[in-house]
Amino acid sequence: MSYRVLYIEDEDHLANIVKETMELKGYMVLHQREGLKILETIPAFRPDICVLDVMLPYIDGFTLGNTIRKHYPSLPIIFLTAKGQTKDVLEGFSSGGTDYLRKPFSMEELMIRINNQIAIRRQTPSPRIEHKQKEFHLGSFTYSPDRLELRSASGIVKLSNREAEIMNIFCMQPNATIDRRELMQIVWGDDSYFISRNLDVYIRRLRDYFAMGQGVEIITLKGKGYHFSVS
Amino acid sequence: MSYRVLYIEDEDHLANIVKETMELKGYMVLHQREGLKILETIPAFRPDICVLDVMLPYIDGFTLGNTIRKHYPSLPIIFLTAKGQTKDVLEGFSSGGTDYLRKPFSMEELMIRINNQIAIRRQTPSPRIEHKQKEFHLGSFTYSPDRLELRSASGIVKLSNREAEIMNIFCMQPNATIDRRELMQIVWGDDSYFISRNLDVYIRRLRDYFAMGQGVEIITLKGKGYHFSVS
DNA sequence: CCCAAATAAGGTTAAATTAGGTTAACGAAA
DNA sequence: TTTCGTTAACCTAATTTAACCTTATTTGGG
């Protein structure tokens, strides 16, 4: 089983190196440049661990850590702090960090600490991340993520795993733009060409389902992603 | 309240510095030069955390860590490793360490990590002691893990050992995704092809049972595992 | 500055693959 | 000898791959 790492880092160069190394070790990594939408990303991606840079635009890492801790008390968080900032480290732990690493760090060191945090957490029988909502009302449809069911006047459709994963992401952000690459990253852990055709197939299926009722539409934003339009 | 640190270190000079610094910070420290009698020391001293040097006479730190972990699964252990010994570190974590520090370390760093480990442990409500529930109410069913019985309006089904093992795992995480490989690892200690067909057989049997009532469903998440849907 | 060709992005459909499901039968333990 | 767990052969459905199609966006000539 491959573990899922949510990694927030604004420096692209560093991020790419770290991401690739982690992927080589068999982890599924979702990298984002800032944490504004983290409360939507977490239930969609269901990470086993978060790795947060501390210096981030918009929201700093510690604030982010606090937010995560509030909603997901048992999700491990590793902070990446700038060197020589002990005060920061203390603040980091008080804001819910379970470990930290000073920059510059070796990948080896990071991997060890990630493995360790996941191992510690797995010993404790802790609840996995669940969908916060039991049901979503979308136009003339009702979607239940627990039962993977899409209900409407014309009947019940059982969604497959992949179909449901995409639905879950859409439901987190109704009437918003969902980035195509990000979507692929979350569902397939990859955004290559073949996955891309693959996503198309599933979008097609969802559109078929939604055509059986009213009020929901998946609108293509070419070059960007999809707009999940719900009324 | 002052926390209690059990500190095993054979270098007297270093040990004194560390001990004194910790005491200045208000910790109660018991320092010993080797770990031969650790299983007598722990219940007597009741430490909140153990700090173990790795290079020790008679018994090395990792072996010691293993022993401690066996008897006190939730007691945090910090290893102090010689520099440049990554292999050792990995071994250390697998032998139950919860953190480690490379020599030479700063006292500040050690204090931070000790505090953090104690804090983490305090957060965990009932650390690692499995709380076995007497009965689970699942839809129109009642499952009793003690009696291996699944009761519903249509009668009582006696579950076999294997059936119950799988049920137990499902009941720990209702409405969550259970990884297929992980499930096989837990029940059979193996996730090979034949085990896989085997699991299918048992899933089938459980599904048959649940078909006799309502509110419980085992949903396949292809490529992932199962979703134990309970209402 | 406009329009058509070129190109890139996404859509459709069906075949291929792989993961999982079903059923029956066999053998070991109780 | 009955129950349970495993193996095996065969079946079904989700997912991926592939080939081909359509539409938006870009580009460059007039």
Q: Integer distance in angstroms from CA B138 to C1' C25? A: 33
Same domain assignment for residues B193 and B161: yes
Task: Please give the distance of CA A42 from its chain centroid, rounded to a whole number.
Answer: 4
pLDDT on residue B131: 43
Report residue A159 as tokens. 């969604």
B 10-39: CB under 8 A from A: none
pLDDT on residue B86: 61
Same domain assignment for residues B91 and B52: yes
* Residue-range definition of the domain harbouring residue A107: 4-123
Same domain assignment for residues B68 and B173: no
Same domain assignment for residues B113 and B140: no
pLDDT on residue B210: 92
Considering A94, A123, A152, which residue would you say is the last residue of a domain?
Answer: A123
Same domain assignment for residues B118 and B9: yes
At A50-101, the pLDDT tens digits run 999 988 888 888 889 989 988 888 898 999 988 766 666 667 666 667 788 8
DSSP string, B178-196: EEHHHHHHHHHS---HHHH
The minimal CB distance from A148 to the residues B179, B182, B227 is found for B227
Same domain assignment for residues A11 and A118: yes
Report how far residue B200's alpha carbon sits from residue B185's, in angstroms, rounded to the nearest whole number: 14
Same domain assignment for residues B9 and B92: yes
Same domain assignment for residues B37 and B117: yes
Check the CA dihedral A95-A96-A102-A107 and report its sign: negative
Residue B128 lies in a domain: no
B129 touches chain A (CB under 8 A): no
At B60-96, the pLDDT tens digits run 888 888 888 888 877 889 988 876 666 666 665 665 6
Contacts of A115 in chain B (CB under 8 A): 93
Residue A131 lies in a domain: no
Q: What percent of chain A has pLDDT over 70?
A: 89
Residue B184 lies in a domain: yes
3-class DSSP state of A11: coil
Contacts of A147 in chain B (CB under 8 A): 217, 219, 229, 231
Residue A130 lies in a domain: no
| Domain total in chain A | 2
Note whether B86 contacts A130, CB cutoff 8 Å: no
CATH of the domain at A204: 1.10.10.10
DSSP string, B189-224: S---HHHHHHHHHHHHHHHHHHTTSSSEEEEEETTT
* Residue A39, φ and ψ in degrees, nearest 5: -75, -15
CATH of the domain at B59: 3.40.50.2300
Q: Using the CB atom, is residue B220 less than 7 Å from strand C?
A: yes
Same domain assignment for residues A140 and A186: yes
Residue B131 lies in a domain: no
A196, closest nucleotide (Cα–C1'): C10
pLDDT on residue A122: 66
Region A224-228: mean pLDDT is: 93
pLDDT on residue B91: 64
Same domain assignment for residues A87 and A157: no
Report how far residue B162's alpha carbon sits from residue B160's, in angstroms, rounded to the nearest whole number: 6
Q: Integer distance in angstroms from CA B143 to C1' C28? A: 29
Considering A88, A123, A158, which residue would you say is the last residue of a domain?
Answer: A123
B 35-74: CB under 8 A from A: 73
Region B175-183: mean pLDDT is: 87
Report how far residue A14's alpha carbon sits from residue B58's, in angstroms, rounded to the nearest whole number: 44
- Of the pLDDT bands very low, low, confident and very high (cuts 50, 70, 90), residue B130 is very low
pLDDT surpasses 90 at A160? yes
Residue A39 lies in a domain: yes
Which range, of A9-13, B82-86, B130-134, averages the lowest pLDDT? B130-134
A 92-121: CB under 8 A from B: 93, 97-99, 108, 112, 115-116, 119-120
Q: Where are the alpha helices (DSSP H) in chain B?
A: 12-24, 38-45, 61-71, 86-94, 107-123, 161-172, 180-188, 193-210
Same domain assignment for residues A8 and A99: yes
Give bridge partners of residue B230 from the DSSP assignment. Answer: B216
Residue A129 lies in a domain: no
**Burial label, A59 (beta-carbon count in 10 A; 0-12, 13-18, 19+):** middle
Residue A115 lies in a domain: yes
Same domain assignment for residues B144 and B213: yes
Mutate to test the interface with B, among A72, A85, A93, A159 (most CBs of B within 10 A): A93
Considering A102, A123, A144, which residue would you say is the last residue of a domain?
Answer: A123
